[in-house]
Amino acid sequence: MLSVRPELSSAVADREFVFDGGPVWAAERALDIAARNGVEQLVPAERLGLQAAMRPPSQDWLVDRLSILWTQFMVARQADPRALAVWMAETGSLLGDLPHDIVAHAIDQAVRKSRHGFIPSVGEIRQFADPLVEERERQIERLTAMETAMADPVATAARMERRAATAAAQEGRRA
């Protein structure tokens, strides 16, 4: 499953357990972390990659995956073909908005955690998928904010001055 590359993950992560009075997350601080990790220039490409990964699965893939689920769980039961058609249409509709890699992962997790011997419900699948979608959306939002800050000449000038002052202070401590 696609996620932010490790070198950028600390830049887009919350700082909720850092009790310094600052915000939970700030674009300028994130850019400083990315620069320290040598990946600041990768922010736009990372955002584009995550946005591209938000595409839902093809209808063919989803129908195939749901057919496998139906077959796997209904093998010993008599099933009305009309029930399959209704289940496929409704389940496909309710899962079709999820990104491909996330819905694939969520279906797998729901099957692994299934204890009752029945097909996982849409709710059980979405229980795994929805937090992953929210996290990806937050990462895209933060990468977009970082990219916007990088494109702002005033913010960039202030950032360069701040980094130069920090570097000079660190150099002074070493001497």
Q: What is the pLDDT of residue 57?
A: 96
Question: Is residue 76 very low, low, confident or very high in pLDDT (cuts 50, 70, 90)?
Answer: low
Mean pLDDT of all residues in 118-130: 94
Domain layout of the chain by residue ranges? 6-53+136-174, 59-133
Question: Is residue 15 very low, low, confident or very high in pLDDT (cuts 50, 70, 90)?
Answer: confident
How far apart (Å, rounded) are the C-alpha atoms in residues 78 and 100? 31
Q: Are 11 and 37 in contact (CB under 8 A)?
A: yes
Q: Does the pLDDT of residue 66 top 80, yes or no?
A: yes
Q: Whole-structure pTM over 0.85, yes or no? A: yes
How far apart (Å, rounded) are the C-alpha atoms in residues 80 and 34? 56
Mean pLDDT of all residues in 103-129: 91
